[in-house]
Amino acid sequence: MGNADWARGCAMTVEPVTGARFVYDEANPLDPLGDLEREASKGVKHNRAKVGSARPSSLIYTYGPGSIMDLPQFTIMPSGLDDWDRIWARRDFVPQINAPRLREVVRMLLRSPDVQLRPFPWQPKKTSMSSEGNDLGVPARVFPQWLRCTGCDMLASVAQFDYRNTHPYRTDLACFEHTRCTGRSGDPNRKPVRRPAVAARYLLACVDGHLDEFPYDLWVHHGAHCEKAEFPVLKMVDRTAGRGAAATIICASCGSPRPMNEAQGEAGRSKLPRCRGRHPHLDAFEPEGCGNEVRLILVGASNLWFPATHSIIVMPASTSERELDLVDQLRSALGDKLAKYAGNLDILRDLLDGKVDTARLTDAALGDAVNAALQPLPTQEEQEQRIREWDPVELLVPEWNYLQRDPLGDRHEDESSGLTLSRRNVDPAMPAGISRVLAVERLRKVNALVGFTRIDDVDRVGDLPRRLAPITRSAHPAWTVATEDRGEGIFIQLDHDLVSRWEDTVLASEIWRAHREAHRRNFRRRFSETAKYVDPDSRLQPPRYWLVHTLAHVLIREMAMTCGYSAASLSERLYAWPEADGRHASAGLLICTTASDSDGTLGGLVQLSTPERLERVFSGALYRATRCSSDPVCAQRIPHDPEDFLHGAACHCCVMASETSCERANRFLDRRFLVNLPGSELGFFGHAG
C-alpha cells in the first residue's frame, strides 16, 4: 500500500501544538454538551448529546478511554481524560475518592506528583424523569468513522450520513442513516428511502497501543488513487457476516474490487501501511510517528483494549498513611502559598480553614507536615528507578498485615475505612491447614485506571512501558478515573508452617520442574525484549500462590451454588508470597463481592462464613476438585516442551473461572497442588472425599 499517502494523512488531519506531548488539533475540542448548548441558543432543533449509559465497573474494566463501546445502532470511543475536564468544569466542586495508599502508587506509575482519584462524572436522579445530572457524562466520539449502509452497501465517512437522536428517553434509537438509499440494485428510478448505517468493522492496531481507521480507498486501489474520480464511491459487500475479514471492498467509480481477507495473517501485514501513531481517544498522533507493523483487527475483538488497573481494599489508616494524606491535603489546598507562609502557622491555619481540618493538630505536628510538603520531589531518574523496582505486592502487604490482627470484640467496625470484621471459629471438621477465618461484613474497594494496552494483555507487556497507551495528552495528568466499590467477603488464612513444609516438597518435585520450564518458554516468547535482561524464574509465582489461587477458584465455584451471587460476581484477592525484605510470608485469600452503584451487597456471602456452613463449602469444593469431566486428560496434564501454558491439572470444567473473578487470567492453577490426584501425592489437603 502507498505508505507515503497514508503517512501524509497525519499532517493533513491535525496541527502541532507547541510544547504538547502529542500532535493534536487544539482548535476543535471534543465538547458534546457545549455543542448542544450552542445549537439550542440558535433555536435550532437539535439532536441530544446522550447516546447511552454504562455501569462504572464496565467503564473502567471494559469500556474505558480508548476502547470501543457497542451501542444498539453504532459504536463510540470514550475520550481521554483531558476532554472530561470540560464536563467537570460544570461543577464548582469536583469529588475525589480518598485512598492515599493507592493514590501514591498511581502517582508513581503516571510520573505525576499531584494526581487525584476522581469518580466518573455522574449524579443520581430523584426520579427517572428528573433532570439532575443531565450536564454530566463521559465524553465520547463516534468511532470508527467509516460506516456502511445496510440497504445499498455504500461505504463512506460519517459526514455522509444523517444523525438522528431526538427522543429524550430513548437513547437506543440514536442512529446514523443513509437518507437517499436506492438499494443494492442501484436503480435510479427507485424512490429513495432512509436506511440505517452501521460501523465498518475493520481497524488497524499496533502493539504500542495505537489504533487507526482502515484506509479503504487506498486498499481497494492498491495504494494508488482512483483513476475515474477524485472522491470515489466505495461499497462494502459482505454476505457472510461474522466470519472475520470476509467482506469485499468495491470502488463503484472504477469497478476495482479487493477482498479484505488479503489483509489477514502474517502475509497480509506486508500489504498494510506502517502505523501512523494515532491515538483516536486523544484525537492525537505521536509527534515522531510510530512505524510499527499494524494488524487487522475487528471492532468487537477481545484484544482491542486491555485496562491497566490497580486496586486496594481500604484498611484503617496507619499513622504514616494519615501523615501522607495530610501532606497531600496541604499541597492541594495551598499550592504556592504553602512556601510563602510556611513560617507563620497562624496564617496557615486561617488559610486552611474549611479546607483541611487542623483543629486537632498541634503546632509541632502541623509544622512537620508543612516541612514534609515542602520537600523537593524525586528526580526523574529516581522515579524511573522506583518504577523498575516496584512490586504490585506492595499494595497487598498492608492489607495482609491488618488482617492478621484479631478484631476488637466479636465484631469491629471502622467508620473511616468502612471495614467491618467479625471473628469466626474454625469448625473442627475443617481440613487441616486452615488456621483463621474472618467474616468481612463490609469492605470498600477502590480501583484506579492508569492506562491500557492493545493486542496483548498488560501483564504480558508490563516490562515495556512504551506499550502502555496513555489516557491523557498531558505528560503529567492532574487526575485519573477511579471507582469505589462496597461489598462483603470471607478471609481465609492457611497455616504458615504447614504451607512452608508443603512448599519445600513441591519445589523438589518433577511436576514443579515442568511448570518452571514451561514458564521460561512462555516468558521468552511473550517478553522477548525483556527476557534478555530478566531471569524468568524471578517472575514465576511460588507454589504457595498456585495453592491459594486454585483454592480460591474451587471455593468460588462452590460458594456460587448457595450464596445468592453468580460465580462471575465473586472475585479473589490473593495473599501468597514468601518472606522477603520488609515483609513477612503470607498464605491466605479473600473471596469477595462488590458493587459500585449501590450501598453494598446483601450479605449472602458473609453468611457462608459460619463454621458449619463454611465446612460444608470446603468439603464440597475439595471433593469436586478431585474429579473433572475432562479426566483423565485434565488430571494428567503437565506441560512438556514445546508447550508453554501456565497451568496443570486445571480446565474450564473443573477450576478455571470467568475473567471477572480471576486476577491472573486463569494462569498458575493446578488441582494436584490442592488435593491428591491419581499419580500425584502433592495435594496440600491430601485425599478429599
pLDDT tens-digit readout, 496-524: 999 999 999 999 999 999 999 999 998 88
Model confidence band, residue 240 (pLDDT cutoffs 50, 70, 90): low
Instruction: Confirm if 397 and 575 have CB atoms less than 8 A apart.
Output: no
Whole-angstrom distance, CA of residue 298 vs CA of residue 305: 12
Whole-angstrom distance, CA of residue 111 vs CA of residue 98: 19
pLDDT tens across 557-589, in order?
Answer: 999 999 989 999 999 999 999 998 778 999 999
Q: Which amino acid is at 365?
A: A
- DSSP letters spanning 431-465: PTTEEEEEEEEEEEEEEEEEEEESSS-GGGSTT-G
Query: Residue 110's CB: how many other CB atoms inside 10 A?
Result: 21
Q: What is the mean pLDDT of residues 56-69?
A: 92
Determine the Cα angle at 676 with ends 673 and 681, to 5°. 85
Q: Is the four-CA dihedral 544, 549, 554, 559 of positive or negative sign?
A: positive
Whole-angstrom distance, CA of residue 80 vs CA of residue 275: 20
User: Is the confidence at residue 94, as pLDDT, over 80?
Assistant: yes
User: What is the reported pLDDT for 496?
Assistant: 95
pLDDT tens across 103-134, in order?
Answer: 999 999 999 988 999 999 988 878 777 778 88
DSSP 585: -
Q: Which amino acid is at 501?
A: R
User: Is the confidence at residue 142, as pLDDT, over 80?
Assistant: yes
Instruction: Confirm if 655 and 671 have CB atoms less than 8 A apart.
Output: yes
Q: For all residues of the chain together, what is the average pLDDT?
A: 88
pLDDT tens across 10-35, in order?
Answer: 333 334 443 457 887 777 888 888 88
User: What is the reported pLDDT for 243?
Assistant: 57
Q: Which amino acid is at 96?
A: Q
User: Is the confidence at residue 84, as pLDDT, over 90?
Assistant: yes
As beta bridge partners, residue 411 has 422
HSE, CB side, 13 Å, CA atoms: give it for residue 536. Answer: 20
User: What is the reported pLDDT for 213?
Assistant: 96
What would the grid cell of residue 496 be? 504458615
Residue reference for cell 519445589: 507
User: What is the reported pLDDT for 214?
Assistant: 96
Residue 300: phi and psi, rounded to 5, are: -95, 15
What would the grid cell of residue 123 be? 449524579
Q: Is the four-CA dihedral 454, 459, 463, 469 of positive or negative sign?
A: positive
| More confidently predicted of 528 and 575 | 575
Model confidence band, residue 463 (pLDDT cutoffs 50, 70, 90): low
DSSP 583: B
Buried b (16+ CB within 10 A) or exposed e, 393-406: eebbbbbbebbeee
Residue reference for cell 426520579: 127
Residue 197: phi and psi, rounded to 5, are: -115, 145
User: What is the reported pLDDT for 26?
Assistant: 77
Q: What is the mean pLDDT of residues 458-471?
A: 74
Whole-angstrom distance, CA of residue 650 vs CA of residue 627: 11
User: What is the reported pLDDT for 193?
Assistant: 92
- DSSP letters spanning 82-126: HHHHHHHTTSSS------HHHHHHHHHHHT-TT-EEE--S----S
Does residue 280 have a cis bond before it (omega within 30 degrees)?
no
Whole-angstrom distance, CA of residue 655 vs CA of residue 567: 12
Q: What is the mean pLDDT of residues 472-501?
A: 95
Residue reference for cell 501456565: 646
- Measured between its terminal Cα atoms, the distance across the chain in Å is 63
Instruction: Confirm if 605 and 591 have CB atoms less than 8 A apart.
Output: yes
User: What is the reported pLDDT for 647?
Assistant: 96
Cα 56 off chain centre by: 12
Please choose, from the candidates 649, 641, 659, 416, the residue with its C-alpha nearest in 3D space to the C-alpha of residue 547. 649
Whole-angstrom distance, CA of residue 254 vs CA of residue 251: 6
User: Is the confidence at residue 135, as pLDDT, over 90?
Assistant: no
What would the grid cell of residue 211 be? 489504533
Q: What is the mean pLDDT of residues 438-442?
A: 95
Model confidence band, residue 187 (pLDDT cutoffs 50, 70, 90): confident
Instruction: Confirm if 317 and 100 have CB atoms less than 8 A apart.
Output: yes
Residue reference for cell 500532535: 23
pLDDT tens across 300-355, in order?
Answer: 899 999 999 999 999 998 888 888 888 888 888 888 888 888 888 888 888 888 78
User: What is the reported pLDDT for 390?
Assistant: 87
User: What is the reported pLDDT for 18?
Assistant: 39
Instruction: Confirm if 657 and 551 have CB atoms less than 8 A apart.
Output: no
User: Is the confidence at residue 374, as pLDDT, over 90?
Assistant: no
Whole-angstrom distance, CA of residue 505 vs CA of residue 493: 20
Burial label for 426, CB within 10 Å (0-12, 13-18, 19+), is: middle
User: What is the reported pLDDT for 365?
Assistant: 87
Instruction: Confirm if 398 and 315 have CB atoms less than 8 A apart.
Output: yes
Residue 116: phi and psi, rounded to 5, are: -110, 160
Highest average pLDDT, of 160-174, 372-386, 612-626, comes from 612-626
Q: What is the mean pLDDT of residues 393-413?
A: 91
**CA separation, residue 282 to residues 25, 76, 450 (Å):** 10, 13, 15
Buried b (16+ CB within 10 A) or exposed e, 490-505: bbbbbbbeebeebbee
Query: Residue 610's CB: how many other CB atoms inside 10 A?
Result: 15
What would the grid cell of residue 229 be? 474520480
Q: What is the mean pLDDT of residues 659-682?
A: 93
Query: Residue 102's CB: how many other CB atoms inside 10 A?
Result: 21
pLDDT tens across 271-301, in order?
Answer: 999 999 999 999 999 988 898 999 999 998 9
Instruction: Confirm if 574 and 549 have CB atoms less than 8 A apart.
Output: yes
Whole-angstrom distance, CA of residue 373 vs CA of residue 364: 14
Min mean pLDDT across 42-56, 250-264, 630-644 is at 42-56
